[in-house]
Amino acid sequence: MLLLRQPNTGPAPTPDEMKKIMDRFGVWMESMAAKGMVLATAGLEVSGKILRGSGGETITDGPYPEANEIVGGYVLITAADLNDAIAAARECPGLDYRMAVEVRPVKHRMK
């Protein structure tokens, strides 16, 4: 799974910059899809809730505005191994725009 972490500090891209970024993201996603790698993908809303404690007794707003990064979306991919997933993540155009990509293996559920 690729978690797309967006910086929550500094200037936001201009509309023209955002179009260029999204165009590059489209090419990246199409490239992975053509290789049969993309299983699911979605952006995440900025707002949400965080539950903590037994039974989720504590609910707070999140992600926190003071956080340096927020998870802006995810791409669930299939890859031969972690190195192949890292190679796919290295092609993420967001890396050129202060984004971080976290690469995490997904545990398979036991039947």
Tens-digit pLDDT string for the chain (111 aa): 999 988 877 788 889 988 999 999 999 999 999 999 999 999 888 778 888 888 888 888 776 655 677 888 999 999 999 999 999 999 999 999 888 999 999 988 877
Query: Whole-model pTM above 0.85?
Result: no
Give me 48's structure tokens: 């949400």
pLDDT of residue 67: 67
pLDDT of residue 45: 85
Burial class (CB in 10 A: 0-12, 13-18, 19+), 75: buried
pLDDT of residue 34: 97
Name the residue with tokens 């978690």.
Answer: 3
Name the residue with tokens 């999140």.
Answer: 62
pLDDT of residue 44: 87
- Domains of the chain with CATH codes: 1-9+19-44+67-111 (3.30.70.1060)
Give me 9's structure tokens: 């500090």
Give me 45's structure tokens: 């809303």
The DSSP element (H or E) to which 16 belongs, if any, is helix 15-34
pLDDT of residue 2: 95
pLDDT of residue 39: 96
Give me 92's structure tokens: 């993420």
Torsion of CA 89, 43, 110, 57, to 10 degrees: 130
